Amino acid sequence: MNKPFDNRAWFLVLPVFLLVAFSAILPLMTVVNYSVQDTFGNNQFFWAGTDWYVQLLASERFHQALGRQLLFSAIILLIQIPLGVLIALCMPRKGWTVSLTLVLMALPLLIPWNVVGTIWQVFGRGDIGLLGYTLNRIGLDYNYVNNIGDAWVTIVVMDVWHWTSLVALLAYAGLRSIPDAYYQAAKIDGASRWSIFRLIQLPKMKHVLIIAVLLRFMDSFMIYTEPFVLTGGGPGNSTTFLSIDLVKLALGQFDLGPAAAMSIVYFLVILLLSWVFYTVMTRDENERQGGAS
């Protein structure tokens, strides 16, 4: 059969190109433009070259924010991925409890981010918050406003509470796609519970877990609203993550040039790390395909 070939078909994808151009590429180019110039009032621009980038990459402040951000994402992934998988394994597979569990699990995901921050801000207060008050009453000296450790623990627990459901639901979907025959065959082969997890469940969940890791990495790396509401980046700068720092630089100090340079670097770091995660996690598969061909 002859496939019809017609160059006019490009017109059909034109709207998408235009949309992407106006919503993503043009704004990004504006940022690039700002990042290589110094601006003053009355729309005066002066060429700055790579100055802002050089300054940024040498700045102690950026290094610290980046370090905090990497540490935060690492903690989040190390807790949420195993915990989400564990929860998915415990979730019911049939009966009326399935829909109930799904709804309950989805609830935290439906709450707006600033509300999550506010909930935990009140929850953790020593005078009126259920958590803060209780901890203080049982003799623990808990104060997320003054204590760096307490602030970190609160933000991590808040994020785990908010987002572990997502990992659990994805892992659950992966588990549900495993046909019963696999479990039956494992029984017949005399496999242990651990073998079933390692040899059947984990390999079959792999693809959804890759998505879960990427989503949780990108989201946690860009976290802004919840810590902004909860701690405002404090105490001191101890919970000032990259996006909070960026907003301070751009809107607080109105240093548009340095802020633009930081945005570009921030974006490239996320892109790079996501690529690394994806490549490492799918390496096995590529080898397999390469070997088969």
Site for another protein, rule CB under 8 A: 179, 181-182, 184-185, 187-192, 195, 199-200, 203-204, 288, 291-292
Query: What is the smallest separation between the CB atom of 201 and another protein, expressed in angstroms?
Result: 11
Query: What is the smallest separation between the CB atom of 281 and another protein, expressed in angstroms?
Result: 14
CA-CA distances (angstroms) from residue 283 to 271, 274, 275?
A: 18, 14, 12
- Considering the complex, state which of residue 70 and residue 191 has its C-beta at the smaller distance from another protein: 191
Give CA–CA dist 172/178, Å, rounded: 10
DSSP assignment of 80-134, as one string?
HHHHHHHHHHHS-SSSTHHHHHHHHHHHHHHS-HHHHHHHHHHHT-TTT-HHHHH
- Considering the complex, state which of residue 137 and residue 193 has its C-beta at the smaller distance from another protein: 193
- Considering the complex, state which of residue 63 and residue 198 has its C-beta at the smaller distance from another protein: 198
The alpha carbon of residue 15 and the mean position of all alpha carbons in its chain are separated, in whole angstroms, by: 30
Query: What is the smallest separation between the CB atom of 194 and another protein, expressed in angstroms?
Result: 11
Query: What is the smallest separation between the CB atom of 190 and another protein, expressed in angstroms?
Result: 4
Query: What is the smallest separation between the CB atom of 176 and another protein, expressed in angstroms?
Result: 16
- Considering the complex, state which of residue 149 and residue 203 has its C-beta at the smaller distance from another protein: 203
- Considering the complex, state which of residue 49 and residue 290 has its C-beta at the smaller distance from another protein: 290
Question: For residue 243, what are its two tokens?
Answer: 């996006």
Specify the 3-state DSSP secondary structure of 39: strand
